[in-house]
Structure formats: C-alpha cells, structure tokens
C-alpha cells in the first residue's frame, strides 16, 4: 500500500487549485415526486366533490397500480443495465393462466403459485440466455418473446378464461384486505422495499448499475456483466409471473387479456421515476412514484368522466411532457 511519505513537502496535490463544487441537493432527481404531488393536489381540488380524496378511492388507486408497480421495480433493474424487457405484459397473461390451470387441476394454492412464478422465470431465463449467450439486443429478443408468449397464452386454453375457485388464493393474491389495507398494497410495498435494498444496498445492485454505466469498464473491474443481465431478466420474468398471479387472484380467473399493454405502462413508470433509459442510473422508489402517478392520472381522468380515447391521449401527453421537462432540467 502507498505510504504517507508521498506528501513530501513542497509537493502540490493533484488539482488542489480546482475547488470542488459543493454538492447541492439536486432537485431534478426528485422531479417525479413534485409532479406526483402536483397531480394529487390538482385532482384533490378539482375532483373534491367527486370523492377523489376518499380513502376508498385512494386505496383503489393502490389496487389498480399494484401490478404495474411490482413489474416496474423489476424493470428498473433491467433498464439500469441499459436493456429493456417488452415481454412482461404477455408473460403476465400466460402466468395467470398457468396458475389458474394448476389450481383447477388440484395442485392447490402452492401449485398455482409455483406454476405462475415458474412461467415467469422460464420466460425470463429464455430472454436472458438469448441476450447474453447469442448477444441479440434485448429489444428484439423481448419483442419476439412478447408475441410468442401472448400466442401461447391464447393457445393454452383456446382463449377461454380459467376460473379460480380457491378462496385462500384469491384472498392472498389479489382480492383480500388486511383490516382496511388491500393485500395488493402490501405486496407492492414488500416488492418495493426488497428491490430498493437490492439495488442500493447489495453488491448485485451496485454491479447492475455498473453494467449499465459502462459495460466494458464493469467487465474490466471484475463484474460478470452477462450474469448480471441474466439475473435482471429473471427478475422481470419473476415479477411478471407474480403480477399474473395477482391479476388472477383479483379477478378470480386466469385470462389471456391480462396485462395487455402493461409493458408500456411499466416502462413509462420506470422512466418517469428517473431511471435512465441509457442505463447506469436507477431508482426503485422513483419507479413506485412513477407508477402511482400514472395510476392517479388514470383514476382522475375516469372520475372526470373522460372516455378511454381521451384518457389515452392525455396520459400519453403527460408522459412526454414529464420526461421532456426532466430532460430539459438535466441540461441546465
């Protein structure tokens, strides 16, 4: 190790002439929080008489956004490595069906859980292996996988929904409330806390950010970047599988339409939250807020009485504006 004698008298330290800028609180990292609060305040005032601020409605938002949030926290890892996973929506549908079929075939709640999560993990594994072993861009792999998995979900029961008559499963994975707290909110918070710790406090999380920040540098530093990428795709697979289970539990059925278009909401939530689409920078809490914000906007627009077409347009506009605003702030 270097010794202290390196500080020989008369030596000038490296860059002592350049004063280090004081680290100031970087407000642009928190832009999504301000935006979220802004949206909440706007709807609270304009929709006060329509019951927007009622506990029921707010808990409803939590229920509606749970699946997006859970997939979002996993997607945060994928996007942090500079990759993308478009197959999560389709995986959700297939997982809801395999879980429902397992329960229908008498494997019980545990069987349903294993089938749903297993489905997600298999999709994630295939994605991850294709991306790391055959070095195919994740956009293409998961775009292809999105179609394949969706097709399988339609084919497996010939587009018929599969009812779930297992009240424990339905309670625990979607429909239940603990006291007045929806079980979906509990799952969301558990997933967020676990993912936050994983990203911020473990070497896996650090290596995920390193991989996205500069892949070759990470490799030179001893990060097994391919393993990291495989892991993050297993993560989105697992989360999509779990989201499928939650859809099934909430609707008491498996159905191929579940999760339709969710991949875009999930990616929007992650990017709105402040994770960089180019990799290297990620935030799980930001993703949760991004997801809640999208859910809140949806909810508010419905209460306002806007129809689906108007909702879609306004939602799209808000996402573009929020990201553009964040980008502009970053430049200054």
Partner 1 sequence: MEQPLLMMENISKSFNGITVLDSVSFSVKKGEVHALMGGNGAGKSTLMKILTGVYSADQGDIFIDGKKVEIHNTDDARNNYISMIFQEFSLIPSLTVAQNIFLTRESKTSLGLLNDKQCIEETEKLLEELDVDIHPNDIVGNLGVGYWQMTEIAKALSQETKILVMDEPTSSLTQKETEILFSFIQRLKNKGYAIIYISHRMEEIFEICDRITVLRDGKFVATEECRNTDLDTVIQHIVGRDSNKAFEWKERPYSTDVTPVLEVKNLQAGSKVKDVSFKVFPGEILGIAGLMGSGRSETARAIFGIDAKEGGEILINGEQKTIKTAPDAIDAGLALIPEDRRMQGLILEHSVKENIILPILSKLKKGPVLDEAKANEMASHFVEKLRIKTDDIFKTSRLLSGGNQQKIVLAKWLANNPEILILDEPTIGVDIGAKTEIIDVIRELADSGKAIVVISSEFPELMALSDRVIAMHNGQVVKELRRTEIHSEEELQHAIQGN
Instruction: Give the list of residues 6+ apart from residue 102 with CB closer than 8 angstroms, or none.
Output: 111, 112, 114, 115, 116
User: Between residues 20 and 56, which has the closer beta carbon with respect to partner 1?
Assistant: 20
Closest CA to 259 of 149, 162, 168: 149
117's tokens? 């999560």
User: Between residues 13 and 308, which has the closer beta carbon with respect to partner 1?
Assistant: 13
Do 236 and 83 touch, CB atoms closer than 8 A? Answer: no
Q: How is residue 13 annotated by DSSP?
A: P
* Least spacing, CB of residue 238 vs partner 1, in Å: 20
User: Between residues 21 and 106, which has the closer beta carbon with respect to partner 1?
Assistant: 21
* Least spacing, CB of residue 51 vs partner 1, in Å: 43
Residues near partner 1, by CB under 8 A: 1-8, 11-18, 20, 23, 197, 200-203, 205-207, 209-210, 212-214, 216-223, 276, 279-281
* Least spacing, CB of residue 306 vs partner 1, in Å: 39
User: Between residues 276 and 291, which has the closer beta carbon with respect to partner 1?
Assistant: 276
User: Between residues 176 and 213, which has the closer beta carbon with respect to partner 1?
Assistant: 213
Do 245 and 168 touch, CB atoms closer than 8 A? Answer: no
Closest CA to 193 of 83, 275, 70: 70
Do 304 and 106 touch, CB atoms closer than 8 A? Answer: no
* Least spacing, CB of residue 255 vs partner 1, in Å: 40
SS (H, E, C) 275-325: CCCCCCCCCHHHHHHHHHHHHHHHHHHHHHCCCHHHHHHHHHHHHHHHHHH
User: Between residues 92 and 275, which has the closer beta carbon with respect to partner 1?
Assistant: 275
Closest CA to 96 of 233, 264, 260, 242: 242
* Least spacing, CB of residue 67 vs partner 1, in Å: 28
* Least spacing, CB of residue 308 vs partner 1, in Å: 39
């Amino acid at each position: 190790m270097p010794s202290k004698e390196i500080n020989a008298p008369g030596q000038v330290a490296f860059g002592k002439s350049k004063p280090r800028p004081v680290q100031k609180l970087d407000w642009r990292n928190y832009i999504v929080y301000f935006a979220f609060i802004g949206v909440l305040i706007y709807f609270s005032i304009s929709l006060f008489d329509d019951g927007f601020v009622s506990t029921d409605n707010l808990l409803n938002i939590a229920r509606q956004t749970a699946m997006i949030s859970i997939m979002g926290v996993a997607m945060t890892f994928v996007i942090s490595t500079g990759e993308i996973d478009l197959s999560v929506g389709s995986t959700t549908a297939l997982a809801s069906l395999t879980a429902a079929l397992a329960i229908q075939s008498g494997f019980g709640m545990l069987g349903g859980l294993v089938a749903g999560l297993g489905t997600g993990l298999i999709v994630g594994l295939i994605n991850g292996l294709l991306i790391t072993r055959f070095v195919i861009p994740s956009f293409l792999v998961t775009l292809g996988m999105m179609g394949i998995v969706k097709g399988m979900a339609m084919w497996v029961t010939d587009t018929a929904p599969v009812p779930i008559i297992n009240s424990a499963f339905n309670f625990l994975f979607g429909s239940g409330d603990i006291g007045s707290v929806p079980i979906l909110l509990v799952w969301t918070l558990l997933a967020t806390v676990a993912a936050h710790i994983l990203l911020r406090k473990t070497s896996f999380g650090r290596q995920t950010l390193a991989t996205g920040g500069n892949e070759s540098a990470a490799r030179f530093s001893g990060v097994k970047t391919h393993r990291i990428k495989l892991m993050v795709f297993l993560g989105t697979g697992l989360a999509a599988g779990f989201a499928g289970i939650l859809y099934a539990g909430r609707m008491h059925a498996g159905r191929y339409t579940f999760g339709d278009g969710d991949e875009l909401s999930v990616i929007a939530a992650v990017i709105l939250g402040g994770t960089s689409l180019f990799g290297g920078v990620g935030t799980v809490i930001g993703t949760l807020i991004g997801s809640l914000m999208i859910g809140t906007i949806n909810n508010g627009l419905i209460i306002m009485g806007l129809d689906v077409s108007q909702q879609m347009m306004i939602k799209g506009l808000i996402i573009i504006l929020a990201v553009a605003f964040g980008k502009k702030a970053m430049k200054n």
